[in-house]
Amino acid sequence: MLHHNLITPDTKMADAIHMNYLLLPVINRFEIKLGFGDKTVEEVCTENKVNLSFFLDITNTYHDKSYFPKEKMRTYPVELIIDYLLKTHRYYFDQLLPEVEAMVEELLASCPADCDNLGLIKDFYKKYKQELEYHLKNEEQKFFPYVKALTQLEGTGQSLHSIRRQYNFSYSTHSEEHDNVISKMLDLKNIIIKYLPPNYDTAKGNNLLYWLFVFEEDLKDHERLEDIILVPALKRIEEKFTKN
Amino acid sequence: MAQRIVIAESSYLMKRGISAVISDIVQAEIVFVNGMDELNHYLETNLVDYVFVDEELLNNREEREFFFQLQEKTIYIALSENPKNFPGSNNFFALIDKKSPKENLIPLLEETLENKPYAKNNKDSILSERETEVLKQVALGYTNQQIAERLFISKHTVISHRKNITSKLGIKSVSGLTVYAVLNNLIPKDQI
Ligand SMILES: [Fe+2]
Ligand SMILES: [Fe+2]
């Protein structure tokens, strides 16, 4: 099965995309664009000054959900991880969120009559979009800067306590927000798959659903990196400073 | 109908192995989860026939407690390195020794995978009258406590109805349940 194949330094970059085209936006986050010719993953990474091992772990964990070397991934510099996560946020803000919104609007616009029920789905999405944007902004203002500040804390004379107060990051709120954004995405997909009112345009409905699947897969991968790699890394740094 | 199987196991080789063996025996949709949080989350929004879980994930008490509030019909199978020392729990249907030879493993898996609780009982996914009643109240914006008072049932019962509703419909959030209720004419649109 192709699925068992992991991407290696010698894999041709083009073959990696053939293996899983959903990797395209992922590799874009490393500033790598299409048109690789016959270059291998290693060659493309060297050319673009990308950390090869990090690139392989990010693409492979995305590609094969059962592959997740968490201990190894926790050893990468947090700046590297945060940079990747921030680029993912940009992809949501600039592309997925507005594009899916346009698809929802189009679906509603294609409805000939009695469109109240489709309107409910639009309202649900709009509210979801706001909540996800709020979560992403919250991370950009509290979570990521807090992690970064802690990694640079040594020698500044500042205390953990003061940094903690400055950024006011809460583990429990963060994890509740993750639960919320993931479960509402699943809810939306299920409402559409199982209960979409019949007066909709087939092509537009299918298109919307397709992109929700893409969105969900990307978002799950993203939140998983935050929950399983970044949050424990943060806890580790905090512990180091409480011990001292 | 394919059986829905979740594997919660951290060793890559192990999860690859077990899923390959399962695929040889039955037609299955296999999902992998990392850790208890992910497992918990997945089970809240999906109906699952079988969960294979590595004993390592059950190390601490808290995580084991989780197994007391599971979906009713899902069958749990523990994967153990050392079954003699497995803490043991009635919540597990079977205990599989990771080191057991093929001639023991295959019959045990075959027997275990015969049951397929959800694949058999499709019509169970329809809401009961009581669940529909609770769903309406949720959609109208009442809290669990308020619903308990309005329907003269305990809060605990409300919570258990809500779990069943979520696993049957595949919808967890209040706003999602509200959309469902209006789409299915359980409550009028102007009441939300
Ligand atoms: Fe994020
Ligand atoms: Fe997040």
Identify the CATH number of the domain in which residue B56 sits: 3.40.50.2300
How many distinct structural domains can be found in chain B? 2
- Shared domain check, B106 and B66: yes
Report, as an integer, the average pLDDT of A179-203. 92
Question: Percent of chain A having pLDDT more than 90?
Answer: 77
Q: Which of B89, B115, B141 is a domain's end point?
A: B115
Are B27 and B104 found together in one domain? yes
pLDDT of residue B59: 66
CA atoms of B4 and A35, how far apart (whole Å): 40
Test mutation, A187, A217, A225, chain B, max B CBs within 10 A: A187
Characterize the bridge pairing of strands B28-33 and B50-54.
unpaired
- Please report, rounded to a whole number, the percentage of residues in chain A having pLDDT higher than 70: 98
Same domain, B144 and B168: yes
Per DSSP, the residues of chain B read: -PEEEEEE---HHHHHHHHHHHHHHS-EEEEEE-HHHHHHHHHHHS--SEEEEEGGGG-SHHHHHGGGG--SS-EEEEEES-GGG----TT-SEEEETT--HHHHHHHHHHHTT--HHHH-GGGGSPPHHHHHHHHHHHTT--HHHHHHHHT--HHHHHHHHHHHHHHHS--SHHHHHHHHHHTTSS-GGG-
On whether residue B166 sits in a domain, the answer given is: yes
Q: How confident is the model at residue A103 (pLDDT cuts 50, 70, 90)?
A: very high
Does residue B111 lie in a domain region? yes
Under a CB-based contact definition with an 8 Å cutoff, are residues B51 and B43 in contact?
Answer: yes
Instruction: Please tell me whether residues B70 and B146 are part of one structural domain.
Output: no
Residues of chain B contacting A194 with CB distance shorter than 8 Å = 169-170
Comparing A39-43, A209-213, B133-137, B185-189, the range with the smallest average pLDDT is B185-189
Interface predicted TM-score (ipTM) of this complex, two decimals: 0.86
Domain boundaries, chain A: 13-67, 76-243
Confidence check: pLDDT of B182 > 60? yes
- List Cβ neighbours of B75 (8 Å cut-off, separation of 6 or more): B49, B50, B51, B93, B94, B112, B115, B117
CB atoms A66 and B15 under 8 Å: yes
Which residues in B lie closer than 8 A to residue A121 (C-beta atoms)?
179
Grade residue B121 by pLDDT with cuts at 50, 70 and 90. very low
Residue B104, pLDDT score: 79
Please identify among residues 102-161 of chain A the ones whose CB lies closer than 8 Å to any CB of chain B: 116-117, 120-121, 124, 127
Which residues, at least 6 apart from B15, have a Cβ–Cβ distance to it below 8 Å? Answer: A66, B7, B9, B32
- B181 pLDDT more than 70: yes
**A188 vs B contacts (CB less than 8 Å):** 176
* Per-residue model confidence (pLDDT) at position B67: 55
pLDDT of B86 = 66
Predicted confidence (pLDDT) per residue in B9-37, tens digit: 888 888 888 888 888 888 888 888 887 77
What CATH number does the domain containing B166 carry?
Answer: 1.10.10.10
How far does A61 lie from chain B, in Å, by closest CA? 12
pLDDT at site A244: 60
Residue B120 lies in a domain: no
Centre of ligand 2 to C-alpha A236, Å, is 19
Q: Are residues B105 and B157 in the same domain?
A: no
**Does residue A75 sit at the B interface (CB-CB below 8 Å)?**
no
Chain A residues near residue B7 by CB distance under 8 angstroms: 66
Q: How many residue contacts between A and B have a Cβ separation below 8 Å?
A: 68
Residue A71 has pLDDT above 70, yes or no: yes
CA distance to partner chain A, nearest, from residue B122 (Å): 15
What is the strand order of the sheet B50-54 is part of?
B28-33, B3-8, B50-54, B75-80, B94-97
Q: Is residue B122 part of a domain?
A: no
Measured between CA atoms, the residue of chain B closest to residue A190 is: B170
Q: Which of B34, B175, B179 sits opposite A68 (nearest CB)?
A: B34
Task: Tell me the Ramachandran region of residue A117: left when phi exceeds 0, alpha when psi lies from -120 to 50, beta otherwise.
Answer: alpha
State which of B59, B83, B115 marks the end of a domain. B115
Whether residue B62 is found in the same domain as residue B98: yes
Higher pLDDT, A58 or B3: A58
pLDDT single digits (tens) B138-167? 999 999 999 999 999 999 899 889 988 988
Query: What is the residue range of B162's domain?
Result: 127-191
Residue B55 placed within a domain:
yes
For residue range B51-107, list pLDDT tens digits in order: 888 877 776 555 555 554 455 567 778 888 777 666 655 566 777 888 888 777 887
Q: How far is the CA of A131 from the centre of ligand 1 (A)?
A: 13
Domain end among B81, B115, B149: B115
Which residue, among B125, B175, B184, B186, would best test binding to A if mutated, counting the most A CBs under 10 Å from its CB? B175
User: Is B170–A184 a contact, with Cβ atoms under 8 angstroms apart?
Assistant: no
pTM, full prediction: 0.77
Q: How far is the CA of B127 from the centre of ligand 1 (A)?
A: 36
Same domain, B131 and B109: no
